[in-house]
A and B are shown apart, each in its own frame.
Chain A
């Protein structure tokens, strides 16, 4: 009994769709069996809420009188530099940008208390943002200086466009050295003092559709508290990563590029974030609905934390030196137990991605679909899968001249 997205949408419109979260589906399938569950369930919702550096927003701030060409000039939003190498009054605000006068790691470890991710959150919250700009002036854009407040309500477009989000699996970070390491995976205590991981496990979107059979370009999703879309596969998308028998990648694999109207989003789902000694970023909330088109699609969604493995990587040496060595593999069930064993030592675990918030996202998306306000879309193109042969390349340095 195969279903189509059109049929599922018909049921959503009538308020009759059966929607469950990726957490709930595990028990339902266990109780009823996969085939009965696949017949009854229309959509499984997923969620994830973690720091995602590949995030940012395009803003069109409107034309001043007289006009100024921000393109090619220097522009700051709340002292955070934005990218201006595009059209006259379009800028790109990246999540990891930090003010020019931030001391960085000069006072090690740097605190990175403010940056692009925080500006995005304040913008979404409707706060006024200070724009300062200097430009070179042209015949048609004579002005050279601009200082003004802007507000998301008044500017033309504010488009969140994240080139890499929702990583399908991620390494567990530990520190084998005898010094504290400050990393993008958090503060790592010496001598295997802690282990940090960062995915929602069984609730995470791409763990529930490991071969990208339903998620594709054009899939409508929960993004930052509003509706957004999968725009493309994300950067570093690596479908050919090592997989377990159940299809689930055992290493970092697929990623999503996502896009959406920032004006509809909410500040509680786009949170400015600081990693001590590393930098600034944005914690992003994403939820992807998975249409249950067949027993096979349902089968993939019943994956649970015990079936998903992640590699343990030393961030004091192996990671920075790009050595391939791993210290073993652990399941998300073990990670969530609070302790894992690494080299015969009990190591306490902590997460950088919020599981309670991932649950909340999956439930919000479920409600949107149940009440008929969120319809599913048919992907217009698939994401590159295993057959694409795409692999994640390292940079090969070549001498100049």
Chain B
């Protein structure tokens, strides 16, 4: 059985120079599609992947990633916006790696496109009035 899932990888600074994704392809026969990457050497990095492959190999690949010290976001979470708490400040707009937030040009209200959200969690802590809520 094949699986295909979107995952978020948080790289600690000492890991960002390493070719982990190559191993996923070479050693486990997985295919990937990079949705978003922000990694530069010596810094904490973030990589959002759509990872696909045979179920058994997929699980092995995830196990390998976990062993390297990379933090993998659990896949069954959801992020929603508490509309009553959102002040439409816009602080989240430049934080979200997948551009799930957009400014409505006329009113300058902040639109949230739930479909673009990959549940990386970055906005949850960066939203000043804590309007973005992570459900586990």
Q: Which residues of A contact B (CB under 8 A)?
A: 49-51, 109, 111, 113, 178-180, 186-187, 189-191, 193-194, 196, 268, 271-276, 283, 336, 338, 348-357, 359
With contacts A276-B125, A283-B128 taken as known, whether A187 is within 8 angstroms of B95 at the C-beta atoms is yes
Q: Which residues of B contact A (CB under 8 A)?
A: 40, 42-44, 84-85, 87-95, 103, 107-109, 125-126, 128-130
Cβ-Cβ contact count across A and B, 8 Å cutoff: 78
A189 CA to B88 CA in the complex, in Å? 21
Other A-B contacts than A186-B91, A273-B129, A275-B128, 19 sampled, CB-CB below 8 A, are A111-B125, A113-B130, A178-B40, A186-B126, A186-B128, A187-B95, A190-B43, A274-B129, A276-B125, A276-B126, A283-B128, A348-B93, A349-B94, A350-B90, A350-B92, A350-B95, A352-B90, A354-B87, A355-B108
User: Do B88 and A357 touch across chains, with their CB atoms under 8 A apart?
Assistant: yes
Chain A's interface: helix, strand, loop or mixed, by majority? mixed
User: Do A350 and B107 touch across chains, with their CB atoms under 8 A apart?
Assistant: no
A175 to chain B, nearest CB (A): 12
A65 to chain B, nearest CB (A): 39
Most buried by A among B44, B109, B130: B130
User: Do B44 and A351 touch across chains, with their CB atoms under 8 A apart?
Assistant: no
B33 to chain A, nearest CB (A): 24
B42 to chain A, nearest CB (A): 7
B21 to chain A, nearest CB (A): 22
B10 to chain A, nearest CB (A): 12
User: Do B87 and A283 touch across chains, with their CB atoms under 8 A apart?
Assistant: yes
9 contacts between A and B (CB under 8 A): A51-B128, A109-B125, A186-B126, A187-B95, A274-B130, A350-B90, A354-B90, A356-B108, A356-B109
The 4 closest A-B pairs by CB, nearest first: A194-B94, A355-B108, A350-B94, A351-B90
Q: Which residue of B is nearest A189, CB measured?
A: B94
A336 CA to B103 CA in the complex, in Å? 10
User: Do A274 and B128 touch across chains, with their CB atoms under 8 A apart?
Assistant: yes
A275 CA to B125 CA in the complex, in Å? 8
B114 to chain A, nearest CB (A): 20
